[in-house]
C-alpha cells in the first residue's frame, strides 16, 4: 500500500526537527492542506502577530474572502498553531507540555486583538498533537493529547479535520465528584445563572441544566422543577417516581 503524502512527510522528518522544519515539511504542505487551507493562495501566515504587542504564534490560517487575502490582511485568524521542536517533550505530564498549552491559551485570550475570532488552536511537535477550541471566553481541549505514529497520523489528522468541520454550537460542562458537599450543585446553579443573565452582567446564553442525582436532587429542588411537575400532574410524588 502506497504511503499518503502526509505519512511520507512525517516519516521524512528528522528526529531532531526544529520548528521551521516541522512547519515547512509537515504542517504547511500537508496538515493545513488536509484541513482545507491553501498556502500558495495566501491563506496561511507564519509568525502571526496575535495582538498589538510583540506576541507571535508560529502559524495562523484563515480562508480568504472575496475582497481580501489573509496574508494581505493578517487579522481574525480562524486557526493558530503553536509549534515546538521535536526534541521537546509534549507528553501530557511534562512541564513543557503544560507551558505550551498555557502559551496557546494566552494567544487565544481576549486581549489578543488579532485572535478575537479565532476558534481553534493546535499544539504540536510532530510527535504529539492536540486540538483546542475556544467557545466564548472558554478554551478547552477538543481532543486528547494524541501521540502520532506512522500508522495513525492519517486517521488522527482526519479526526482533527472532522472536529473543525463539524463545529458544535453548544458547550457541555459536566460537574462531577463522588464526594458530597464539595460544591457541585452550587457551582452548577451559579454558572448557569451567570451564563443565562443578559449582557453586560452575564453572557446572554441559552442554558440547559441537567440534574443527574435522582436521590438527593438538590439542583432540581433549588430550581423548583419538582414542585412544578407535581402541580401539573396533581400528585406530590411525581418527580421522585418518574
Q: What is the 3-state secondary structure (H, E, C) of the chain?
A: CCCCHHHHHHHHCCCCCCHHHHHHHHHHHHHHHHHCCCHHHCCEEEEEECCCCCCEEEEEECCCCCCCCCCCCCCCCCEEEEECCCCCCCCCCCHHHHHHHHHHHHHCCCCCHHHCCCCEEEEECCCEEEEEEEECCEEEECCCCEECCCCCHHHHHHHHHHHHHCCCCCCCCCCCCCCCCCCHHHHHHHHHHHHHCCCCCCCCCCCCCCCCCCCCCHHHHHCCHHHHHHHHHCCCCHHHHC
Q: Are residues 146 and 204 in the same domain?
A: no
Structural domains in the chain (count): 2
The CATH number given to whatever domain includes residue 158 is: 3.90.1570
Structural domain range at position 12: 5-165
Contact assessment for residue 79 and residue 118, using Cβ atoms and an 8 Å cutoff: yes
Share of the chain above pLDDT 70, in %: 92
Contact assessment for residue 68 and residue 86, using Cβ atoms and an 8 Å cutoff: no
Q: Are residues 19 and 87 in the same domain?
A: yes
180-189 residue pLDDT tens: 889 888 998 8
Residue 170 maps to a domain? no
Tell me the pLDDT band of 227, cut-offs 50, 70 and 90. low
104-124 residue pLDDT tens: 999 998 889 999 999 999 999
Q: Are residues 76 and 152 in the same domain?
A: yes
Tell me the pLDDT band of 218, cut-offs 50, 70 and 90. confident
pLDDT at 241: 45
Q: Are residues 189 and 147 in the same domain?
A: no
pLDDT at 101: 97
Cross-strand partners of 147: 128
Q: Are residues 160 and 71 in the same domain?
A: yes
Q: Bigger pLDDT: 223 or 85?
A: 85
Residue 171 maps to a domain? no
Tell me the pLDDT band of 1, cut-offs 50, 70 and 90. low
Q: Are residues 155 and 234 in the same domain?
A: no
Q: What is the pTM of this model?
A: 0.76
Q: Are residues 106 and 193 in the same domain?
A: no
Residue 177 maps to a domain? no
Amino acid at each position: 500500500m502506497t504511503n499518503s503524502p502526509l505519512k511520507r512527510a512525517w516519516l521524512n522528518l528528522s528526529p531532531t526537527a526544529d520548528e521551521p522544519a516541522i512547519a515547512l515539511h509537515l504542517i504547511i504542505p500537508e496538515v493545513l492542506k488536509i484541513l482545507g487551507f491553501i498556502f500558495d493562495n495566501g491563506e496561511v501566515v507564519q509568525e502571526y502577530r496575535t495582538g498589538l504587542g510583540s506576541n507571535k504564534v508560529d502559524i495562523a490560517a484563515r480562508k480568504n474572502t472575496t475582497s481580501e487575502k489573509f496574508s494581505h490582511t493578517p487579522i481574525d485568524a480562524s486557526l493558530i498553531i503553536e509549534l515546538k521542536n521535536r526534541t521537546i517533550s509534549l507528553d501530557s505530564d511534562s512541564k513543557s507540555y503544560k507551558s505550551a498549552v498555557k502559551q496557546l491559551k494566552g494567544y487565544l485570550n481576549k486581549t489578543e486583538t488579532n485572535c478575537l475570532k479565532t476558534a481553534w488552536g493546535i499544539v504540536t511537535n510532530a510527535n504529539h498533537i492536540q486540538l483546542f477550541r475556544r467557545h466564548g471566553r472558554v478554551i478547552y481541549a477538543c481532543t486528547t493529547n494524541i501521540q502520532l505514529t506512522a500508522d495513525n497520523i492519517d486517521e488522527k489528522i482526519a479526526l482533527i479535520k472532522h472536529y473543525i468541520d463539524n463545529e458544535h454550537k453548544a458547550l457541555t460542562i459536566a460537574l462531577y465528584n463522588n464526594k458530597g458537599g464539595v460544591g457541585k450543585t452550587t457551582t452548577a446553579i451559579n454558572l448557569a445563572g451567570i451564563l443565562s443573565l443578559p449582557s453586560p452582567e452575564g453572557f446572554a446564553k441559552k442554558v440547559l441544566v441537567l440534574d443527574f442525582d435522582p436521590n438527593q436532587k438538590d439542583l432540581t429542588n433549588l430550581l423548583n422543577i419538582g414542585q412544578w411537575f407535581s402541580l401539573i400532574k396533581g400528585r406530590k410524588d411525581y418527580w421522585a417516581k418518574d
